Structure 1
């Protein structure tokens, strides 16, 4: 698995709970407390051990931890690049949702070694969507749930979200109900400059 994912988990734990929690988790997972090199490959088992150790250390459900990771990737100031990449998807939440199918290709432009599973957005009825996530990255559906929730806040949209399906191979689905496109004030964003 790409070191960027493991590094994101490392930063999430360190930024959210402190260096001590990261160090405890790293030791329990059998990885160096120095962490991961973002551009190096790591076996999937390393990520699995890291997530299991973090869930045990924090006494949290793994799925909830992954959902919080998705929120962190968008909302934490240290991860501004992820938010920026996602905001290029559209001027409102609906446009953003419709751009999700292009996300794997956009991510590869920025990080050629990061291969995300296929994403397919289906609109069942006006304002009701289903994001289908292809196999290959277990836990991505839970991360997507947190990320989609944080992006709704970012755009000022009111949504309800749910995990519709998840498979052992990483395939999953998230249901999205867009209740109000302009429910509140979203965060400022300009395509022309970094905030």
Structure 2
């Protein structure tokens, strides 16, 4: 999972600020290389140094930066296959939210051994959901919040999304995202078809 995060952050910085900014981040984080491989196992401390250096370079709070990366993953044109994969998870925005209950299991089937966050989705009222993220470090909720915001626009839904709780429990970070889906058909959704090339 660390490799996926580092590679996504690298792509985000290069896209938004360019190669020179990325070079400064690499130097500040004292990395032994300049390019990450998504599926390579990377050290947790290295990732934390990278995120801190990127937040300083981008002049963003750490969790705000991670949320920006989550949004970028779902909206950056070259990552269209990622958007399509996420859209395939549900016919509408509410279906998508429910699909995150199974996301950890799906990730481990696709990439055995991956340290993927656990998500627990609860419908607490009409159009209201809580998504609990459990992982060894903080930030899973921020990444997911960015993705949920992007996909609300993608589905044409109007939703209020915020992180409402954070705590440490049994060595894990427990973060709670509150989602209020006000209207599923608020605007025209982005085009999505199952056929290739769309």
- Pairwise TM-score range, normalised by the shorter structure: over 0.9
Gaps in structure 1 of 5+ consecutive residues: none
TM-score by length of 2: 0.91
Normalising by the residue count of structure 1, what TM-score does the alignment of the two structures yield? 0.93
Q: Determine if the alignment matches structure 1 residue 7 to structure 2 residue 7.
A: yes
Distance 1:114 1:86 in 2: 19
What pairs up with 1:163-182 in 2 under 5 angstroms? 163-167=163-167, 169-182=172-185
- Equivalences, count: 195
Alignment of 1:28-47 (within 5 A): 28-32=28-32, 34-47=34-47
* 2:131 maps to 1:131: yes
Cα distance between partner residues in 1 of 2:47 and 2:192: 33
Q: Which range moved further: 4-13 or 177-186?
A: 4-13
State the Cα distance separating 1:113 from its structure 2 match: 4.4
Correspondences of 1:106-121 after superposition (within 5 Å): 106-121=106-121
Relative to structure 1, is the Cα distance of residues 191 and 170 closer, same or farther in structure 2, using a 3 angstrom cutoff?
farther
Which moves more between the two structures, 159-168 or 43-52? 159-168
- Using the TM superposition, give the Cα deviation of residue 127 of structure 1 relative to its aligned residue in structure 2, in angstroms: 0.4
* Per-residue CA distance 1:39-72 (angstroms, 9 max, x = gap): 2111111111011001111211111101101101
Which stretch of structure 1 is more off in the superposition, 144-153 or 100-109? 100-109
* 1:76-117 deviation digits (Å, cap 9, x = unpaired): 112223212211111110111111111222233443343312
Unaligned runs of 5+ in 2: none
Q: Distance in 1 between matches of 2:15 and 2:26?
A: 15
Q: Normalized per residue, which structure has more strand? A: 2
